[in-house]
Copies of this chain bind each other. A is one copy, B any other.
Amino acid sequence: MGGESYTSPAIFEAEQEHVLEAMWFCAVRSGDLAHPGAFRKIQVGRESVLVVRGRDHELRAFLNVCRHRGAMLCTEDEGQVRRNLRCPYHAWTYGLDGKLVAAPNMASLKDASGRDIDRVEFGLVPVALREWLGYAWVCLADDPPSFEAEVMGAITERLGDPTAIDNYRIDQLEVGRRVVYDVAANWKLIVENFMECYHCATIHPELTEVLPEFKDGLAAQYFVGHGAEFGSDVSGFTIDGSAGFETLPGVAPEQDRKYYAITVRPTVFVNLVPDHIIFHRMYPMAHDRTIVECDWLYTEDVIAEGRDVSRSVELFHRVNEQDFDACERTQPAMSSRAYRHGGVLVPAEHHIAEFHNWIVGKLGNSGNEGGE
């Protein structure tokens, strides 16, 4: 993939349209929005989207734009309203289900045919939403692709067995730590970095200590169903290899003492270890900027008992920092003539070529907009 793919604002805009706004996008941890009226504002492609817990306890998503004159309904990143979403400009007021419930002089408002305006038609613009693994996934497409095929299917394709992920009961876990990274690199560099382990020996000393096979450079994702085994002297997936927590209740014996990494395109990485989950969501903001939100998930008991998660958090937090440093060092060179036609994919990276082909296919002709 030529360097322009990482530096062209026009290609990024094509990706916003044909990838980020067209596919299922992992938006928010459902449990973050515990009570009716809790909301979170997120960026999906070029759109600001609100995810809101309804009075019926359902999550729904809407474009964060008042139908009247276009003010942003919510400018805070997250918050809690009492009963309604009220636009602070002219007080158009929407139920948590998006319906227009009140507006000043509402009786005088008529549609083009002179009838009272329809409370649904003039309600907030809805965005498709599905919940899975304890996260709300949204899709801006008019006709969303199959969630089962695209999201669940990606995990099955990696793990080889559709039930393997269920063992971890990720939807029942709780967030023990969240770290947000603001990375000065194109989102595809972050995907590619996660897809290969040829760099592991060079930049991840702590990780390769825990997972010795990573020293060989073969990505954990390379073989269907393969998990990287803990070193024989390693007790747990922690910064110093010391013991972690009890193995998650449903985890199978063959999943124990193993690390699985899964990419769910376009913006999610799931990391499975026996006692916790590391879950990354990306928010691509510009051709050269990506916000990554990473959750460390533990059982309700671990959280309730206030047990110390810092040794397990520290391991992957270092990995994140090492990876994002590498991506930030790569981004500026993407504009060089030396990278005009891309670089070299060594054998351990050949599956990245498939990712490149996939992107090219998604963009179709629009990917040429920024071309020479």
Contact = CB atoms under 8 A, between A and B. Distances in A.
B202 A338 contact: no
A15 to B, nearest CB: 16
Contact of A217 (B71, B88, B104, B217): B104
A179 interface: no
B90 A199 contact: yes
B122 A63 contact: no
Interface string A139-170: 01000000000000000000000000000000
A123 to B, nearest CB: 11
A104 B208 CA distance: 15
B338 A125 contact: yes
A63 B338 contact: yes
Contact of A343 (B70, B201, B347): B70
Given A48-B333, A70-B330, A70-B334, A65 B203 contact: no
Contacts of A72: 329-330, 332-333
B68 A339 contact: no
A3 interface: yes
A63 B201 contact: no
B122 A89 contact: no
Contact of A89 (B103, B125, B330, B346): B330
Contacts of A63: 336-338
A304 interface: no
A263 interface: no
B67 A338 contact: yes
Contacts of A309: none
Interface string A58-78: 000001111111111001000
A109 interface: yes
A329 B347 CA distance: 51
B343 A67 contact: yes
Given A70-B339, A140-B337, 9 more contacts: A48-B333, A63-B337, A64-B336, A66-B343, A69-B349, A70-B336, A70-B338, A71-B330, A108-B346
9 contacts: A46-B336, A63-B337, A65-B338, A70-B333, A89-B329, A103-B346, A105-B216, A105-B217, A109-B344
